[in-house]
């Protein structure tokens, strides 16, 4: 790797290249479960939550919601058990960060789940894992079995009064089961149909009990926060904007990846001050020989594209929103100048149409309608009004559905239609010449 690059900060990834780090025999001497021990023996659940609030940790599943604040919404004294659900569905195209954590450091994932369960006083954790991740499932189940045998999972953990079960639940291959309430339905054995909110899961979640749902990467940060304190975490990355009292910054570290048409696809960990250009050109190695970068989606497939000229933006939650995109999963997809942007839209619309659960008409019908229009433009059969028709479809879909799958379907394709209008127009059938002209 060339020198002079933005530095990596290996916190979550510190064991990724350590042989057999997935076993307790290797992970424990390297510090695994020390934070669990510290939390259980020296902190109250409220104190753990307080440290997570101070850390300003924001959810790594895509939306960036403050984790400590989410935990404080959990309904108390309901007479029902409280559950923690770890979202390991990771079905977003281009996303592969949670898989690394589960396969290479499953004890960190399990410890993150247990410390977080302690904080919200949950009696069980369900880890909902993408069904197409058999290695992740195996590694997690192996880690849980080892942890249980060592008194780290189950009854009276480490001889304390805290008891917590951890269950791995494989999904069956639906993107919508990554949406938190679709996931809860699936966990209950039903179709993954997202629920109308409220009630929010923190009040009524899985099996109608108070439930906190967080992403794998989010919860994997919690052991470090307990070990070093929330303030130390908040000092890393991008601090909150002092001019904006609602800003939470982008603190801590973030797993970031690059896939697509680059020389060196991969996954690294940084404090969020790195720019998208440094990520794609520095770590991702830039375009393939003789090619130029045309467009980049900063995180997964669900965010608006950025042009090569727009890549000097920092990989932070608020910074990417300011330039009209979003951090999403933080795993960028790169398209070079061989990529046909109309065909890219066909693919994206097809994906979302296929994954729509079908409950909401704008999503069920709109995604397929978008795909049909993109398909005919790609085939050279576009009509003069098709770009206006697409704009009216975007308007008819966005913000009108139960969950964000439909919005996520609109964001990337709308940005492509607007930024690559010339490519669409070049493929449109010219309007017939009026008779006599």
Nearest to 74 by CA among 252, 205, 178: 205
Closest CA to 260 of 290, 238, 280, 239: 280
Q: Considering beta carbons, is residue 282 or 298 the nearer one to ligand FMN?
A: 298
Partner that binds at residue 91, options ligand SF4, ligand FMN, none, CB closer than 5 to 8 Å by kind: ligand FMN
Q: Specify whether the backbone of 329 is left (phi greater than 0), alpha (psi in -120 to 50) or beta.
A: alpha
Q: Is 403 in the site for ligand SF4 (CB under 6 A)?
A: yes
Q: Give the nearer residue to ligand FMN in terms of CB position, either 223 or 382.
A: 223
Q: Is residue 357 a contact residue for ligand SF4 (CB under 6 A)? A: yes
When CB distances are held under 5 to 8 angstroms depending on the partner's kind, the choice from ligand SF4, ligand FMN, none that residue 356 binds is: ligand SF4
Q: Is 251 in the site for ligand FMN (CB under 6 A)?
A: no
Decide which of ligand SF4, ligand FMN, none touches 406; Cβ closer than 5 to 8 Å per partner kind. Answer: ligand SF4
User: Residue 392, exposed/middle/buried by CB under 10 A (0-12, 13-18, 19+)?
Assistant: exposed
- Would you say 211 and 181 are in contact if contact means Cβ atoms under 8 Å apart? no
CB-wise, 209 or 342, nearer to ligand FMN? Answer: 209
Q: How many residues bind ligand SF4 (CB under 6 A)?
A: 14
Residue 399 region by backbone torsions, left for phi larger than 0, else alpha for psi between -120 and 50, else beta:
left
Whole-angstrom CA distances from 327 to 56, 177, 316, 396 are 16, 21, 6, 25
Tell me the window of 1-9, 45-53, 184-192, 404-412 that interacts with ligand FMN (CB under 6 A): 404-412
User: CB under 8 Å to 61, separation ≥6 — which residues?
Assistant: 87, 178, 214, 215, 217, 218, 329
Q: Are 200 and 213 in contact (CB under 8 A)?
A: no
Footprint of ligand SF4 on 185-244 (CB under 6 A)? 194
Print the binding letters for residues 33-62 with ligand FMN: x by CB under 6 A, - otherwise: --------------------------xxxx
> With binding defined as CB under 6 A, does residue 266 bind ligand SF4?
no
3-state secondary structure 10-28: CCCCCCCCCCCCCCHHHHC
The residue range among 36-44, 145-153, 178-186, 279-287 that interacts with ligand FMN, by the rule CB under 6 A, is 178-186
Structure token pair of residue 22 = 């997935």
The Cα-based distances of 389 to 366, 370, 384, 408 in angstroms read 11, 9, 10, 19
Min. distance of Cβ 132 from ligand FMN in angstroms?
A: 12
Taking the complex as a whole, the smallest distance from the CB of residue 30 to ligand SF4 amounts, in Å, to 41
- Supply the minimum distance, in Å, between the C-beta of residue 398 and ligand SF4: 10
Whole-angstrom distance, CA of residue 141 vs CA of residue 395: 45
- Positions in the binding site for ligand SF4 (CB under 6 A): 176, 194, 356-360, 363-364, 401-403, 405-406
- Positions in the binding site for ligand FMN (CB under 6 A): 59-63, 65, 87, 89-92, 175-176, 178-180, 213-215, 218, 403-405, 408
């Amino acid at each position: 790797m060339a020198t002079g690059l933005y530095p990596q900060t290996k916190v979550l990834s510190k064991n990724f290249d350590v042989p057999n780090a997935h076993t307790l025999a290797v992970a424990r001497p390297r510090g695994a479960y020390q934070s669990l021990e510290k939390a259980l023996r020296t902190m109250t659940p409220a104190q753990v939550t307080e440290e997570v609030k101070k850390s300003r940790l924001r959810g790594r599943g895509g939306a960036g919601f403050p984790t400590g604040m989410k935990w404080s919404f959990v309904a108390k004294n309901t007479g029902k058990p409280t559950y923690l659900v770890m979202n390991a569905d990771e079905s977003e195209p281009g996303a592969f960060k949670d898989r690394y954590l589960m396969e290479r450091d499953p004890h960190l994932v399990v410890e993150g789940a247990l410390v977080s369960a302690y904080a919200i006083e949950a009696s069980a954790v369900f880890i909902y894992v993408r069904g197409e991740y058999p290695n992740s499932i195996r590694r997690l189940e192996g880690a849980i079995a080892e942890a249980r045998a060592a008194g780290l999972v189950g009854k009276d953990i480490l001889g304390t009064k805290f008891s917590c079960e951890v269950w791995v639940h494989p999904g069956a291959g639906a993107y919508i089961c990554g949406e938190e309430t679709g996931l809860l339905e699936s966990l209950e054995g039903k179709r993954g149909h997202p629920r109308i909110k409220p009630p929010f899961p923190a009040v009524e979640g899985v099996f109608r009990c108070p439930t906190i749902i967080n992403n794998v990467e989010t919860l994997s940060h919690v052991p470090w926060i307990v070990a070093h304190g929330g303030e130390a975490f908040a000092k890393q990355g991008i601090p909150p904007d002092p001019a904006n009292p609602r800003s939470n910054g982008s603190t801590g570290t973030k797993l970031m990846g690059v896939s697509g048409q680059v020389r060196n696809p991969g996954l690294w960990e940084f404090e969020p001050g790195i720019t998208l250009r440094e990520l794609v050109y520095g770590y991702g190695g830039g375009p393939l020989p003789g090619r130029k970068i045309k467009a980049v989606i900063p995180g997964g497939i669900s965010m608006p594209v950025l042009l090569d000229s727009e890549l000097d933006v920092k990989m932070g939650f608020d910074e990417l929103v300011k330039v009209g995109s979003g951090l999403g999963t933080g795993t960028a997809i790169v398209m070079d100048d061989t990529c046909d942007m109309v065909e890219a839209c066909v693919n994206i619309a097809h994906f979302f149409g296929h994954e729509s659960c079908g409950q909401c008409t704008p999503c069920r019908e709109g995604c397929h309608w978008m795909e049909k229009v993109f398909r005919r433009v790609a085939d050279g059969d576009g009509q003069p009004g098709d770009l206006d028709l697409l704009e009216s479809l975007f308007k008819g879909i966005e913000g009108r559905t139960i969950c964000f799958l439909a919005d996520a379907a609109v964001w990337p394709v709308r940005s492509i239609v607007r930024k690559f209008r010339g490519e669409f127009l070049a493929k449109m059938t010219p309007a017939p010449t009026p008779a006599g002209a």
